[in-house]
Structure 1
Amino acid sequence: MSNIGLIIEEKSADIGNFLVGRLLPFREKRAVGPFVFIDHMGPAELKDYQNLDVPAHPHIGLSTLTYLLEGSIFHRDSIGSALEIKPGAVNWMTAGKGVVHSERTPEYLRTTDKKLHGFQIWVGLPKHLEQTEPTFHHIEASQLPVWEEGEVQFKLIAGEAFGKKSPVPVHSKLFFIEIKTKTAQKISIGQDLYGEAAMYVLDGTVNADGNTYGSKQLLIAKNTKLCEFEMSENATVYLFGGEPFDEERFIFWNFVNSDKELIDKAKVDWNDQNYEAFPLIPGDDKEYVPLPKAVLNRK
């Protein structure tokens, strides 16, 4: 019997002035382990007059993970963080009770042609940490565990697996893994995974249970212990997953929480621009993304 329980097709979503491919949440699968939201950005070729500009916007009850394959993004937040993320590095921001951040093309790239490609991910927080103080961590590419087994290259971007641990300070048991092949290879890693798991095929193809899968699909496994598949030559896949939470996580716009009342409060605080709940971003406080009226009215 096939171990692929669900196939989610990547769908286009507009995040303001940039289209992304949305993988999670999906109507039949709201989360995979603690992962509640996954956007695949690009690959996009941006002209000298095109830039990524996501103004100040809020989050609660989650951690954001940004991982780039190409291009560059300048991150600012209400904690005071201000830095550029480049391919291979990880930005990990824990919103907790509330944080505001912006994401823009760096100044030195704004008048040149550029590329942008990567993942924007939200990870839910354990219930006891949903109201924690916000934090931000930047982990350089050189700090992530990378190793080879034959002609297969592994990178542990976040979490724990294969007896290794990423320095990204996650708050629950999870994994985010990159696997690359030079030649066609059979991969058997079920003994190293746990909880729930999903696979995204970036390049090449994957054969599982006699079926071949390509890009723009998120494959949800029925059982991580049966995680075996064949990768084509020059293929790249990403595995997401981990232990799911006991409580349901609700998502309304940019807010994630197990308590709907905290989400409703966040809606009002952001709509009213309550700076005690959502402080201004130093260096980027001239504009913000307003709360959609449909979100404000939704209960």
Structure 2
Amino acid sequence: MQAFVGSVVVRGRCPRRVLSTMTMRKVETVQKTRTQTEGGGFVVRRPNIPPERFDPILLLDHMGPATYGPKEAVGAPDHPHRGQETITYILKGQMQHLDSHGHAGTLNPGDVQWMTAGAGVVHSEMPGDEIFEKGGSLEGFQMWVNLPKEKKMTKPRYQELKATEIPSSKSDDGQITVKVLAGKFKDTAAHIDTVTPIVYYDVFGENSGKVSFDPDVKRLFVYVYRGRAQVCGRDMKEGEIAVLESEEGDVEVISANEEFGCLVFGGDPLNQPVAWAGPFVMTTQEEIRQAMIDYQTGILGSIPGSEKRYEQTRIANQNRS
């Protein structure tokens, strides 16, 4: 087995110190993500972390990687959301977004979409036309972030950044890249405006290297989506997520000398009740019932062309069966 070399160091709130006196966050657990089917039939890898421990994160899905033949690619046709923010980040392929507030966008490799569902929205996320017609690969992530109870009914908002618009930084040795999707990395601030403050970094490289940064959040998670790593002394491999125990302190991630990628994300817990039913995340069951009524009666709106998207999904599933 290839030995681990180099390191990625994620520093917490402690001031800069020499390595021998570092206070390191502890790993509470490392778990393997479970595989399940979502949307119109695509496969995701998802960690099984209780909401009270994931807070303010609700969900992280690793979509794919999947390779589709012609007219086999599936997405998520029209469906509602209320009470959360959804973030879609694409590594491979192309996804198309539409919503009931008139927003539309096409995500290519490296692009990110941030949708604040707030008071409610209907949206669809479908594979790009070329991938559907000719086939191709799709891979990406979707994260849900909870909204504070006083902002659950905020006005929906859509933000999208192309890969070239997402700020990034290099490690001192030039071997590690950190894309700043949310929060701040040293002096590099994300261009996305979040309702719930979180940090969300894509940390990757092809060689061993070392980088340090201060996430300054109480809840932090590291998901290895490519290659192997060692997080605070615990060996990890692709498809595993580390739940970090301490609320502050340094985090050490050592990468193997191979293609490597991990997501580092988290925030301060909202410490509020979570009432969750499918695409709706509120604080009480009464709010959930009202969300369902509002969706069924059309208050959340609709998107023209839904029949075409559902038919495309039916054809894709039929061709894959």
- TM above 0.5, one fold? yes
Distance 1:158 1:192, change over 3 A: closer
Matched, 1:161 2:185: yes
**Which residue of the other structure, out of 72, 78, 81, is the alignment partner of 1:59?**
81
Please state how far the C-alpha of 1:185 moved relative to its aligned partner: 3.3
Corresponding letter in the other structure for 1:154:
V
Please state how far the C-alpha of 1:169 moved relative to its aligned partner: 1.5
Q: Aligned runs of 1:5-44 on 2, under 5 Å?
A: 5-15=28-38, 16-23=40-47, 26-27=49-50, 30-44=52-66
Q: Aligned runs of 1:111-126 on 2, under 5 Å?
A: 111-126=133-148
Q: Distance in 1 between matches of 2:280 and 2:115?
A: 14
Q: Distance in 1 between matches of 2:25 and 2:164?
A: 37
Q: TM-score, normalised by structure 1?
A: 0.87
Please state how far the C-alpha of 1:269 moved relative to its aligned partner: 3.3
Corresponding letter in the other structure for 1:21:
R
- CA deviation digits over 1:143-166, x for unaligned, max 9? 211111112211111223323221
Preserved contact between residue 145 and residue 155 of structure 1 (Cα < 8 Å): yes
Matched, 1:218 2:213: no
Preserved contact between residue 188 and residue 229 of structure 1 (Cα < 8 Å): no
Q: Distance in 1 between matches of 2:157 and 2:262?
A: 29
Q: Which residue of 2 aligns with 1:257?
A: 282
Q: Which residue of 1 aligns with 2:268?
A: 243
Q: Which residue of 2 aligns with 1:268?
A: 293
Corresponding letter in the other structure for 1:247:
Q
Q: Which residue of 2 aligns with 1:195?
A: 218
Q: Distance in 1 between matches of 2:71 and 2:164?
A: 32
Q: Distance in 1 between matches of 2:92 and 2:35?
A: 19
Q: TM-score, normalised by structure 2?
A: 0.82
Q: Distance in 1 between matches of 2:25 and 2:198?
A: 24
Preserved contact between residue 31 and residue 37 of structure 1 (Cα < 8 Å): no
Q: Larger deviation: 118-127 or 46-55?
A: 46-55
Q: Aligned runs of 1:40-189 on 2, under 5 Å?
A: 40-149=62-171, 150=173, 151-189=175-213
Q: Distance in 2 between matches of 1:240 and 1:3?
A: 16
Corresponding letter in the other structure for 1:214:
K
Please state how far the C-alpha of 1:11 moved relative to its aligned partner: 0.8
Q: Secondary structure at the match of 2:289?
A: helix
- CA deviation digits over 1:14-68, x for unaligned, max 9? 1132111112x524x5453421111000100011120223221110000110000
Gaps of 5+ in 2: 1-23, 311-321
Preserved contact between residue 25 and residue 251 of structure 2 (Cα < 8 Å): no
Preserved contact between residue 224 and residue 262 of structure 2 (Cα < 8 Å): yes
Preserved contact between residue 33 and residue 197 of structure 1 (Cα < 8 Å): no
Q: Secondary structure at the match of 1:185?
A: coil
- CA deviation digits over 1:231-279, x for unaligned, max 9? 1122111101011103133321111112331112112333xx2112x21
Alignment: residue pair count: 282
Preserved contact between residue 224 and residue 237 of structure 2 (Cα < 8 Å): yes
Preserved contact between residue 94 and residue 106 of structure 2 (Cα < 8 Å): yes
Matched, 1:205 2:251: no
Q: Sequence identity of aligned pairs in percent?
A: 28
Q: Distance in 1 between matches of 2:170 and 2:89?
A: 21
Q: Which residue of 1 aligns with 2:313?
A: none
Please state how far the C-alpha of 1:95 moved relative to its aligned partner: 0.8
Preserved contact between residue 161 and residue 193 of structure 1 (Cα < 8 Å): no
RMSD: 2.0
Q: Distance in 2 between matches of 1:186 and 1:207?
A: 13
Preserved contact between residue 184 and residue 215 of structure 2 (Cα < 8 Å): no
Q: Distance in 2 between matches of 1:126 and 1:160?
A: 21
- CA deviation digits over 1:87-130, x for unaligned, max 9? 11111111111100111122233221211000011111122210
Gaps of 5+ in 1: 289-299
Q: Secondary structure at the match of 1:225?
A: coil
Q: Distance in 2 between matches of 1:31 and 1:63?
A: 18
